[in-house]
Amino acid sequence: MATRAVYPGMFDPVHNGHVDLIERSRRIFDELIVAVVANPAKEPLFPVRERLEMIDEATTGLTNLRIISFDGLLIDLVARERADCIVRGIRAVSDFEYEFQMALMNRKLRDSVETVFLMPHEKYTYISSRLIKEVSSFGTSVAGLVPPLVEKRLAEKNPRK
C-alpha cells in the first residue's frame, strides 16, 4: 500500500532544516506533499506564491514530491489529499510540547492519520525561520542556512545596513 504524507508549515522562509526533512521524508513515504500554510494573520515576510517558488527551487530534481498551499485546518487538507501521515519537525524538547498537543488534537479529529516526528540533521537543529528573518533583518548573511534563492530574496528585502 502506498503511503502519502503531508509536511505542513509556514516555510517563511524555507531553510536548510526544512529541506533536510523534505529529503528524508521522501525516503520514508511514497509521496510527500509539502503544504504551505496561507495564513495572512501571521503576517509572513513572503507571500504564499514566493514561499511556494522558493520551496520548488530548493527541491528541484526531487521526485515523489508535490508542493501546495492551503488554509483552514490541516486535518481537513490531510483528508482531501487522502494522506496517511503528517510529518512534523522537532528540533528541541521545547518544540515537542506544542507538536505533541497538535498531534493529539489531529488524532482526535481523524484517528486514522498518524503524526511522525523527525529531527533534522544536528547541524540544523538551531535554525528556525524566525531566527533566519531576524538575523537577515540586520543585513547579516544567512549563507549556508538557507537555499541560495532564499538568501537572495532575503537580501533584497533586507539590504546590508
pLDDT in tens, 25-34: 999 999 999 9
Report yes or no: 11 and 38 within 8 Å, Cβ to Cβ: no
**Residue 130 annotated as catalytic:** no
**Residue 123 annotated as catalytic:** no
- 34 forms beta bridges with 7, 67
**Residue 161 annotated as catalytic:** no
Name the active-site residue from 27, 42, 82, 160. 42
User: Crossing angle for the helix pair 129-137 and 148-157, nearest 10 degrees?
Assistant: 50
Name the active-site residue from 129, 133, 136, 153. 129
Report yes or no: 109 and 75 within 8 Å, Cβ to Cβ: yes
Residue 139 falls in which region: left (phi positive, over 0), alpha (psi -120 to 50) or beta? left
pLDDT band at 1 (very low <50, low <70, confident <90, very high): low
- The per-residue pLDDT for 64 is 95
* Other residues' Cβ atoms within 10 Å of the Cβ of residue 21: 23
pLDDT in tens, 83-113: 999 999 998 877 888 999 999 999 999 999 9
**Residue 42 annotated as catalytic:** yes
* Other residues' Cβ atoms within 10 Å of the Cβ of residue 152: 11
Question: In the CATH scheme, what is the code of domain 4-124?
Answer: 3.40.50.620
Integer Cα distance of 91 and 107 in angstroms: 22
Report yes or no: 149 and 58 within 8 Å, Cβ to Cβ: yes
Name the active-site residue from 18, 26, 51, 153. 18
For residue 77, give the 3-state DSSP assignment: helix
pTM assigned to the model: 0.94
Name the active-site residue from 4, 24, 69, 91. 91
Report yes or no: 39 and 72 within 8 Å, Cβ to Cβ: no
pLDDT in tens, 105-160: 999 999 999 999 999 999 999 999 999 999 999 989 999 999 999 999 999 987 76
